[in-house]
Amino acid sequence: MRGGFVGACAAATAIGAHSLGGGGLPASPSLVVLVLACAVIGALASSAKARRSVPAVTLYLSVGQVVGHCVLAVAGGHTHTGQWSLPMLAAHLVAALGGAALICAAERLLAALVGSIWRLVMVLLALRGDEQRCIRLVWTHTGLAVRSVVCGGWGTRGPPPLAA
């Protein structure tokens, strides 16, 4: 989820900033290159070793914005003076920080929602009372540690049945 959002936000920010900066909307070939470049950034952001913190996601978004800007500038056939103004840098930083905060919050909220739905499904299966279909399902998430067990009885609870 994080990778898709990082790639999409980086591409949207690059297209919006490029258009507002006077570059116009990108043509089809440059749009394809931009989507591919932002997909690579998104894939890096969603890798297993990627950190899930706001600063790490901010870094991925910032790199995606720079890559997107360079792709659109080169593919569009124009360059600008190379002077980066302070308001432009501040706007990119605010966009990256805001996007990272929203992406991290959405990721945690989705994990909580999936955990709640999973618990509800497990309760409904347990209320169904079908002993023949007693299933032991466990769902864990690294951030939430939610475990649900439908049927009990696995383990050493109580004395053995034939205690002497």
Name the band, by pLDDT with cuts 50, 70 and 90, for residue 72: confident
Query: Range with the lowest mean pLDDT among 34-38, 118-122, 156-160?
Result: 156-160
Query: Range with the lowest mean pLDDT among 52-56, 72-76, 153-157?
Result: 153-157
Read off the tokens for 52: 């899930």
Give residue-wise pLDDT tens across range 38-47.
Answer: 888 888 888 7
Name the band, by pLDDT with cuts 50, 70 and 90, for residue 102: very high
Does this model's pTM top 0.75? My answer is no
Q: What is the 3-state secondary structure (H, E, C) of the chain?
A: CHHHHHHHHHHHHHHHHHHHHHHCCCCHHHHHHHHHHHHHHHHHHCCCCCCCCHHHHHHHHHHHHHHHHHHHHHHCCCCCCCCCCHHHHHHHHHHHHHHHHHHHHHHHHHHHHHHHHHHHHHHHHHHHCCHHHCCCCCCCCCCCCCCCCCCCCCCCCCCCCCCC
What average pLDDT does this structure show over 20-41?
81
When the pLDDT of each residue in the chain is averaged and rounded to a whole number, the result is 76
* Residue 138: per-residue pLDDT: 55
Give residue-wise pLDDT tens across range 111-147.
Answer: 899 989 988 888 887 787 655 554 555 555 555 444 4
